[in-house]
Amino acid sequence: MEFGAFESTEILNPIYTRIKELGLESYVMDIDTYGFTVIPPEKVATPDFLERMRETVLSIAQERTGNTFNLSENGDSGHYKGQPQLPGQFLLYYFSFKYKGKKGTKALFYTDNHKLELIWTIIPAIVLTVFITFGLLTWSDVMNMQKNNDPMVVELYAQQFNWKARYAGTDNVLGKSNVRLIDIDKANILGLDENDPYAADDVITTELHLPVDRPVQFVMRSQDVIHSAYMPHFRAQMNCVPGMVTKFAFTPTVTTEEMRKNPSMIDKVININNIREDKRKDLALKGEEPLDPYEFDYLLLCNKICGKSHYNMQMKIIVETQEEFDNWY
């Protein structure tokens, strides 16, 4: 395949000329016909560069896997020293030979076997019953905290693109609410029922404070679309669905300050700040605002793609002692 004397535009003519100089005409045609092409290494770079690149890739692979790669001994198939190929191949051929078809051999035929059927019915039924029972007990613990545990009731209210927390006040009972009652002029941003006495002492915040070692019962609502209340450090997640209330409960056991002093967390924070320092230098050279140093905080995130500002939808969670919580509250 050859390119003719293209005279299309001033922009494309130099490109076509360069393609002919590099001998890439057939590969361009492959892309146009099949949507892909494979260019030989010698057309991409010099042999010296390709050799150095290969050695670098092998070195990184050896460092990360602990295996010794040697293409000169193993070829380019991707095999490496220590990779168990023969045992698997031996077993494959052995069983193929042992159970090969033989003339006159008949398969064993069962008309029925009550004992076998009972075994494969009863045992799975018992196993599933155990799994489902434990699952239901765990689900019940997560969804409905028992009143005798004295859980603190907190509502998480989701809307594009922020979170609000509503504390149930001194009576620990949330007042009634409905999105139809939202009135921005009256600062009723969550649609609380002003005629409900339980709503009078409810407290709305943009930061979630939780006392350590006290059970918390979360009640969740969404104003607009489906959101997902995701607390990665607590391994907790629940969807917030418009028109319905969802719940879950847990007990925080480690304060924010204790977590910040955890050795593994200290290492992570140092690593993140080292990365940010490199970014800060790049931003400074561009005249842009530098990144602030990172400090660990528990976070409430949205784990559903809920719109263009989804990734900014987060709330800080502060786990603290009961005394610190009382002073804040």
pLDDT, one tens digit per residue, over 78-93 is: 444 445 567 888 888 8
Q: What is the mean pLDDT of residues 57-71?
A: 74
* Residue 240 buriedness (CB in 10 A; 0-12 / 13-18 / 19+): buried
Task: State yes or no: pLDDT of 16 exceeds 50.
Answer: yes
Evaluate the CA torsion angle 41, 43, 47, 52 in order and state its sign. negative
Pairwise CA distance, residues 248 & 317, whole Å: 16
Percent of the chain whose pLDDT exceeds 70: 88
Q: What is the mean pLDDT of residues 225-244?
A: 90
Least confident of 21-35, 115-129, 189-203: 21-35
Give the pLDDT score at 33: 67
Of the candidates 212, 221, 211, the residue with the CA atom closest to the CA atom of residue 166:
221
Pairwise CA distance, residues 16 & 45, whole Å: 20
| Joined tokens for residue 126 | 């018992």
pLDDT interval class at 10 (50, 70, 90): low
Quote the DSSP letter at residue 111: S
Task: State yes or no: pLDDT of 315 exceeds 80.
Answer: yes
Pairwise CA distance, residues 233 & 273, whole Å: 20
**298-302 vs 203-205, strand pairing mode:** unpaired
Could you tell me which residues come within 8 angstroms of residue 193 by beta carbon, excluding any fewer than 6 positions away?
175, 176, 177, 178, 181, 199
* Residue 225 buriedness (CB in 10 A; 0-12 / 13-18 / 19+): middle
Could you tell me which residues come within 8 angstroms of residue 168 by beta carbon, excluding any fewer than 6 positions away?
152, 153, 154, 155, 174, 198, 202
How is 201-244 classified by DSSP, letter by letter? T-EEESSEEEETTS-EEEEEEESSS-EEEEEGGGTEEEEE-BTS
Pairwise CA distance, residues 176 & 197, whole Å: 9
* Residue 210 buriedness (CB in 10 A; 0-12 / 13-18 / 19+): buried
| Joined tokens for residue 190 | 């969550």
pLDDT interval class at 319 (50, 70, 90): very high
Evaluate the CA torsion angle 272, 277, 282, 283 in order and state its sign. positive
Of the candidates 282, 70, 82, 248, the residue with the CA atom closest to the CA atom of residue 156:
248
Helix (H) or strand (E) holding 127: helix 114-143
| Joined tokens for residue 72 | 């000169």
| Joined tokens for residue 203 | 């407290």
